[in-house]
A = this chain, B = another copy of it.
Amino acid sequence: MLNKPLILITNDDGITAPGIKALVNAVKHLGEIIVVAPDAPQSAMGHAVTISKPLRLAQTDLYGEILSYQCSGTPADCVKLAVDKVLHRKPDLVLSGINHGSNSSINVLYSGTMSAAMEGCIEGIPSAGFSLCDFAYEADFTLAAKVAAKVAENILKENLPKGVLLNVNIPKIPEELLQGIKICRQANAKWEEDFDERLDPNGRKYYWLTGKFVNYDLGQDTDEWALANNYVSIVPVHFDLTAHQVISDLNKWKF
């Protein structure tokens, strides 16, 4: 590469979150960084895009010499808008995160962090999302930042197959307990929902989504197993949702 790699950084917790600051600091030696991130938290937005209202984009000085913009849209909007309106050329890498909280197993579907990385991948840009299994504002991103830098270096060096992005989750442990980095498959796990039913001051019901995460998967090759055993998990993710193995069976149906 003649020029320095151009790296777009975004997230779903918003441009002021500690996790995105840690990510910028972790990889700024690897290339030219531009930050385009939501102006407010957008967790659990899934792959939402904004079509019913217009978007705002405003430059910020949050990152000193590094160009940064806040956007009124979703994480996926940020990537679309950055590629179309902010960047002077197609970036070499899209990095999303570091998310405050896990995006392992089924959470990949609900994750704004991962949808931003997926949008980068759809645009044909090598992309990865990073999440630390710690929801706290004051979470320690030291280990996660080191992992993000290593993964970014590897992507720039080895590249990724077309249509594949990485879902990287970092356990909440001190660095000395880390067992390594494991390439995994997405565990078969889910949220067992439970809505917390309350009454407002006018006596009308409302509901808070709560739930318990349950792992049904006994495999030792899953992201959940890796995280529970002090490994960083990396799941290669693609966006062809076709269940190819089912096509021949469905062809027997009579319509």
Binding site for B on A (CB under 8 A): 41, 43-52, 54-57, 76-77, 80-81, 83-85, 106, 108-110, 115, 118, 122-123, 150-151, 154, 158, 161, 163-164, 167, 180-181, 183-186, 188, 190, 193-195, 197-198, 204-209, 234-244, 246-247, 249-251, 253-255
**Does the CB pair A48–B52 fall under 8 Å?**
no
Q: Which DSSP category, helix, strand, loop or mixed, fits chain A's interface?
A: mixed
Closest chain-B Cβ to A1's Cβ sits at a distance in Å of 19
Closest chain-B Cβ to A219's Cβ sits at a distance in Å of 11
Residue in B55, B76, B123, B235 whose beta carbon sits within 8 Å of that of A206 in the complex: B55
Closest chain-B Cβ to A123's Cβ sits at a distance in Å of 8
**Does the CB pair B242–A186 fall under 8 Å?**
yes
**Does the CB pair A47–B49 fall under 8 Å?**
no
> Inside 8 A of A57's CB, which chain B residues have their CB?
205, 207
Give this chain's copy count: 2
**Does the CB pair B250–A236 fall under 8 Å?**
yes
- CA distance in complex: A195, B49 (Å): 13
> Inside 8 A of A49's CB, which chain B residues have their CB?
44, 46, 110, 209
**Does the CB pair A77–B154 fall under 8 Å?**
no
- CA distance in complex: A49, B193 (Å): 12
Please judge, given known A-B contacts A41-B52, A237-B242, A240-B185, whether A46 and B206 are in contact too, CB under 8 Å. no
Knowing that A123-B190, A185-B240 touch, tell me 5 more A-B residue pairs with CB under 8 angstroms: A44-B49, A45-B46, A46-B115, A55-B207, A80-B193
Closest chain-B Cβ to A126's Cβ sits at a distance in Å of 13
